[in-house]
Structure 1
Amino acid sequence: MNRGLRTFLTLSVLTAVLIGGTYYGVRLLFADAPELPDADAVSSCRNRTLEPGEQLATNQVSVNVLNAGGRSGMANRTMINLEGIGFIRGTVGNAPADTRIANVRVVARDPKRADARLVGAQFKGKVQYTKGTPEDEASVAVYIGSGFKGMKKTPVPAVKAKTRFTMCAPVAPAV
């Protein structure tokens, strides 16, 4: 095949790819967005009962992290670290202005439950446990105080349930 014919074929193929890609891109650009599922119809968690002795892993617990200290960004950094060891991201933000905490406070429906103990086991120093209801569908809320000592270098991947309890375990979204 001579050089001129090969150049012509190469340019023809490249032109066809350019035209096809442009056509496809313009169609995608002006296409209707897909429908989102109704938030009320689809829950992001499902009730799961754990029996005494069953393991509860980090990927079964959703966590909200709120900053009650003076250092900006602590809640977000802590959430990133918790996600890195498997916890499911909940809300990140600031605690109410009048919230005073020394190190870390874990708020859960039952502070002795496995989900609260698993989250609390990730932190250095004294961890306070308080009974309460976290926002959203999170299992546990973590308040980071002004004297936050940080997270342990070696994470605790799971704990055993001491008592029977039912929790709302996160469900992986359908793809």
Structure 2
Amino acid sequence: MTRTWNLLTSLVAVAVFVAGALVGWNLLTAKADTEAGPTCTERNVAAGEALTPNLVQVNVLNVSGRSGLANRVSINLQRYGFLAGTIDNATSEIPVDHVAIFTNDPDDPMVQLVALQFQVPPQIVAPDIPIDDKGVTVVVGPSYTDLNLTPPTEIAASRDVSVCVPLVEL
């Protein structure tokens, strides 16, 4: 009985090893699924409808020399409901004292909503550096103070706005 048991155990072990080797080889040689899917969902806000922070991505750049300032500003904007964007140091040559919003469209309702979040009204300037077109780019300078304590949570869109809301992966 012991000899039969040992033989049966060995056969099962060999079968498991062979099956594992085949599955492993198939996984190793399988073609990777690298097809990129969408990163966001387009949402439209019609003129006159409420534009809320949860539809606006904010990229925050730091020119102040104060370490971590862009990150702190981004976190505080997220507390107000805005979507997080890029956080980085800026390489802009445009002098920014308090806050600036880099945009080619100062009448954009998203820009207007973000501008209302700061204690010191931001400069609205055309960028001299590449900016992410999926949101609003804010640049904080050395005299930056803080956000408004009770900023507006929505504005009526002055025109139709198309926003790209990032997909949340579960």
Q: What is the rounded CA distance, in whole Å, between the counterparts of 2:91 and 2:65 in structure 1?
A: 12
Range moving further from structure 2, 41-50 or 141-150: 41-50
Once the two structures are TM-superposed, the CA of residue 43 in structure 1 deviates from its matched residue by 2.6
- 1:16-35 deviation per Cα after TM superposition (whole angstroms, max 9, x unaligned): xxxxxxxxxxxxxxxx9xxx
Contact kept, 8 Å, 1:45 with 1:168, in 2: the verdict is no
Matched positions, count: 139
Once the two structures are TM-superposed, the CA of residue 68 in structure 1 deviates from its matched residue by 1.1
Q: Could you say if the C-alpha distance between residues 67 and 46 of structure 1 is closer, same or farther in structure 2, counting changes exceeding 3 Å?
A: same
Q: Could you say if the C-alpha distance between residues 74 and 174 of structure 1 is closer, same or farther in structure 2, counting changes exceeding 3 Å?
A: closer
Once the two structures are TM-superposed, the CA of residue 109 in structure 1 deviates from its matched residue by 4.5
Q: Does 1:76 align with 2:71?
A: yes
Once the two structures are TM-superposed, the CA of residue 74 in structure 1 deviates from its matched residue by 0.9
The one-letter code of the counterpart of 1:54 is E
Q: Does 1:58 align with 2:26?
A: no
Q: Does 1:41 align with 2:36?
A: yes
* Other-structure match for 2:114: 119
Percentage of pairs with the same residue:
31
* Other-structure match for 2:95: 100
The alignment yields a C-alpha RMSD, in angstroms, of 2.5
Q: Structure 2: any 5+ residue segments left out of the alignment?
A: 1-26
- 1:13-55 deviation per Cα after TM superposition (whole angstroms, max 9, x unaligned): xxxxxxxxxxxxxxxxxxx9xxx985x7323223333221111
Once the two structures are TM-superposed, the CA of residue 119 in structure 1 deviates from its matched residue by 0.8
* Other-structure match for 2:131: 134
Q: Does 1:147 align with 2:117?
A: no
Contact kept, 8 Å, 2:85 with 2:135, in 1: the verdict is no
| TM-score for both structures, normalised by structure 1 | 0.69
Q: What is the rounded CA distance, in whole Å, between the counterparts of 2:102 and 2:142 in structure 1?
A: 17
Structure 1 or 2, whichever has the larger Rg, is 2
SS of match in other structure, 1:170: strand
SS of match in other structure, 1:169: strand
- 1:106-128 deviation per Cα after TM superposition (whole angstroms, max 9, x unaligned): 12342211111111110011311
Structure 1 outlier segments of 4+, above 3 Å: none
**Which of 151, 157, 161 is matched with 1:161 structurally?**
157
| TM-score for both structures, normalised by structure 2 | 0.71
The one-letter code of the counterpart of 2:135 is S
Q: Could you say if the C-alpha distance between residues 102 and 37 of structure 1 is closer, same or farther in structure 2, counting changes exceeding 3 Å?
A: farther
